[in-house]
Amino acid sequence: MSSTWTLSELQTGLRTAGYVSAPHIDMALFLALALQKPILVEGPVGVGKTELAKAAAKLLGSRLIRLQCYEGLDESHALYEWNYQKQLLRLQSDSLRGATWSETERDIFSREYLLPRPLLSAITSPTRVVLLIDEVDRADEEFEAFLLELLGELQVTIPELGTLRAEHSPLVLLTSNRARELSEALRRRCLHLPMELPDSSRELEILRLRVPELDEQLRLQAAKFVANLRAMALQRSPSLAESVDWCRALAALGARELDRAIAKDTLGLLVKLREDREKAARAVEKLPRKADTP
């Protein structure tokens, strides 16, 4: 139960990896490394949950293994699958050369015939990896229960092979958009890290780090405009990721200041629902018109 990282090192390391952190994020990551516990990151879409995993992988110099969850995801897609075609070929060749069934059975249920999926890859990796189980709330409850052994013991059980324990404990991050409530059993096994949209100063800092090519004045205007949109209680408020994308678009368009025309043209990057566009248009109308070029 030891970590080679201190809190301040993690904070600066994350920033170097392109992630503007917050004290509770640093603490969760620090504890996850020190106690070898998974982190459950909960929050709305586009607040930087997945980015945190990427930044952590960059910081630790580890490979990022990602498992995207969806309804109907099962262990054959998440953990392992037997290579049926290869097994069939082996069975046919063995029957031709007259091998006994016991020999064949021992061979076709060995690791050679196993197709590792993300979870098994993370467990059997010879080096420490960062395992991102993304949007776990989209998976079924059965899959959630299946994850408990991995999260609690950092091991998986394959009936034909036995229990495989991680040689190098992976850093496991689970993300959830709260599309559904996760079970108490899963929550208990994880450290909890809630993430909300950042306040304006942190958002500005993030924009400064992620879109350095944007003019500082325009960055301030953009952050203020996004904050206005969020205050309008749209059905779907612009996320941080959308805010970053929008600023990148402004930079790509060579904008110098935020005027009505450019905001109108690029509004689709921030507002994705038809019902919200009318409301957002009101915020656009408050922007100054484009100054006449001499």
Residue 128 CA to residue 276 CA, distance in Å, equals: 44
CB of 288 to another protein, least distance (A): 27
Contacts 24+ apart (CB under 8 A), 218-227: 218/250, 218/255, 218/256, 218/257, 218/258, 219/247, 221/257, 221/258, 222/246, 222/247, 222/250, 222/258, 224/200, 225/258, 225/263, 225/283, 225/287, 226/270, 227/200, 227/203
Closer to another protein by Cβ: residue 194 or 268:
194
| Contact letters for another protein, residues 107-126 (x by CB under 8 A) | --------------------
Q: Which of these segments, 10-18, 19-27, 102-110, 117-125, binds another protein (CB under 8 A)? A: 19-27
How many Cβ atoms from other residues are within 10 Å of residue 121's Cβ? 17
- Radius of gyration for the chain, computed over Cα atoms and rounded to the nearest angstrom: 24
Interactions with another protein, residue window 242-281 (CB under 8 A): none
- DSSP 8-state class, residue 208: H
Closer to another protein by Cβ: residue 31 or 251:
31
Residue 133 CA to residue 49 CA, distance in Å, equals: 11
Interactions with another protein, residue window 129-168 (CB under 8 A): 140-141
Closer to another protein by Cβ: residue 106 or 180:
180
Alpha-helical segments (H) within 154-189: 184-188
Q: Answer whether 210's CB lies under 8 Å from 18's CB.
A: yes
CB of 188 to another protein, least distance (A): 6
282 lies in the binding site for another protein (CB under 8 A): no
Closer to another protein by Cβ: residue 27 or 164:
27
Closer to another protein by Cβ: residue 193 or 255:
193
> What region, left, alpha or beta, does residue 178 occupy, with left being phi > 0 and alpha being psi -120 to 50 degrees?
left
Among 10, 14, 40, 287, binds another protein (CB under 8 A): 40
4 lies in the binding site for another protein (CB under 8 A): no
Residue 220 CA to residue 214 CA, distance in Å, equals: 10
Residue 171 CA to residue 55 CA, distance in Å, equals: 12
Q: Please name the residue that has the structure tokens 């922007």.
A: 287
Closer to another protein by Cβ: residue 238 or 263:
238
| Contact letters for another protein, residues 204-223 (x by CB under 8 A) | --------------------
27 lies in the binding site for another protein (CB under 8 A): yes
How many Cβ atoms from other residues are within 10 Å of residue 28's Cβ? 25
Closer to another protein by Cβ: residue 88 or 261:
88
Closer to another protein by Cβ: residue 6 or 16:
6
Interactions with another protein, residue window 164-193 (CB under 8 A): 178-181, 184, 187-188, 190-193
Instruction: Name, in order, each residue with C-beta under 8 angstroms of 196's C-beta and a sequence gap of 6 or more.
Output: 43, 44, 47
Binding site for another protein (CB under 8 A): 1-3, 7, 23-24, 27-28, 30-31, 34-35, 37, 40, 42, 71-72, 84-85, 88, 140-141, 178-181, 184, 187-188, 190-194, 233, 235
